[in-house]
Amino acid sequence: MEGTNAPRIDKWLWAVRLFKTRSMATQACRSGKVKVNNEAVKPSREIREGMEITIQTGPVKRIFRVLSVLHNRVGAKLVPNYMEDLTPEKEYQKMDQIRAQSGNRPYRSGRPTKKERRELDQWFGPDN
């Protein structure tokens, strides 16, 4: 039987850490946000090497290529062995713009400076 070695797409998406939980990956597949080779898939779809997976999260469309299949979750350092990120740079720039507009601080920028803290206090008012 050929199909027994190929994992389900929801399990693979969870295993390579694209989704925090397997149920989140399953829900994304059911809602049509996950496509394989530009075709919407069900969570039970088996995946194989070389497939292109597109994940739509809000306005950002991320694209990945399956390099190898796996059945169990792996550490973050091992993820590049199993998938290749093909997402264009402009999609990541969209993400940065959305984060900047929402008021979130840039990733790894540390704690707010004294000046930024004063601005935050002015924004939220003295009673908060």
What are 10-59's pLDDT values in tens digits?
999 999 999 999 999 999 999 999 999 889 999 999 999 999 999 998 88
Contact 51, 117 (CB under 8 A): no
pTM score of the predicted model: 0.72
How does residue 126 score in pLDDT terms, banded at 50, 70 and 90? low
Residue-level pLDDT at 103: 63
How far are the Cα atoms of 41, 53, 73, 109, 128 from residue 122, in angstroms, in the given order? 48, 45, 45, 21, 10
Question: Taking Cα atoms as reference points, which of 72, 63, 75 lies closest to residue 12?
Answer: 72
> Going by DSSP bridges, is the β-strand pair 39-40/60-66 parallel, antiparallel, or unpaired?
unpaired
Q: What is the rounded distance in angstroms from the CA atom of residue 61 to the CA atom of residue 34?
A: 10
Site of tokens 């070695």? 5
74: tokens are 């792996």
Decide: residue 109, CB within 10 A, 0-12 exposed, 13-18 middle, 19+ buried: exposed
Average pLDDT over residues 87-109: 76
123: tokens are 């924004």
Domains of the chain: 1-87 (3.10.290.10), 89-128 (no CATH)
Question: Taking Cα atoms as reference points, which of 89, 90, 66 lies closest to residue 79?
Answer: 66
